[in-house]
Amino acid sequence: MNLTQDAGHSVQLGGQTLILKGTQGREYLDSLVEKVEGRLNEVAQARQGATTLTLALLTSLNLADEVAEAQARNEDLDRRLSRLADRLEALCGKE
């Protein structure tokens, strides 16, 4: 999130009011808040009685895990595409 915009966008997340600033637009920021709020609620259902801090940390770990898995998938796809490009170039007689 780029923090260069002057005016902020007020949102509710985890019972807290946050002012978000970004260049991506309010719809994008709202979609991020919705995703995090959804994951926070999932964690809260599984860990009833946990503190807000614990829920926030567990949600952060879950989202970080998603990011790491997506990065690993992207790296795998990059390797596969590179191998396919090499094979295609070899078939076309290029090196």
The CA distance from 71 to 64, in Å, is: 10
Q: Please tell me what DSSP assigns to residue 49.
A: T
pLDDT of residue 8: 87
pLDDT of res. 4: 44
Band of pLDDT at residue 24, cut at 50, 70 and 90: confident
pTM: predicted TM-score of the whole model, two decimal places: 0.74
End-to-end CA distance of the chain: 41
